[in-house]
Amino acid sequence: GNSVTQMEGPVTLSEEAFLTINCTYTATGYPSLFWYVQYPGEGLQLLLKATKADDKGSNKGFEATYRKETTSFHLEKGSVQVSDSAVYFCALRSSASYGKLTFGQGTILTVHP
């Protein structure tokens, strides 16, 4: 079956630090990969996505590259801000799962001034 594994959190960084949140997956077929962000007290928002191998998704300074050879989709940002403090979820959607999303466990990010 499909599964997503994210790095254990929480992650605490100082403002302007470099961020990496690791995400690896197992899936049948050729999945699409997503990063969602959940700010405190809010629902999930799509941050970025990639639909095929070697695609790079990017948004708001965040990037993630779909690596089929390592089955990974690591999230990176060169300089985090306090406003990036949130929970980040890696997710996949495979054609074999009838549109269902499989989520990782989420990584809590806290950025201090």
Interaction site with other proteins (CB under 8 A): 32, 34, 36, 42-46, 49, 51, 89, 93, 98-101, 103-106, 108
Residue 4 beta carbon to other proteins: minimum distance, rounded to whole angstroms: 9
Smallest separation, CB 98 to other proteins (Å):
7
Are 96 and 104 in contact by the 8 Å Cβ rule? The answer is no
Other Cβ atoms closer than 10 A to 88 = 24
CA distance 87 to 75: 12
* 77/93 with CB nearer other proteins: 93
> Least distance from C-beta 70 to other proteins, angstroms?
22
- Placement of tokens 């054609």 in the chain: 95
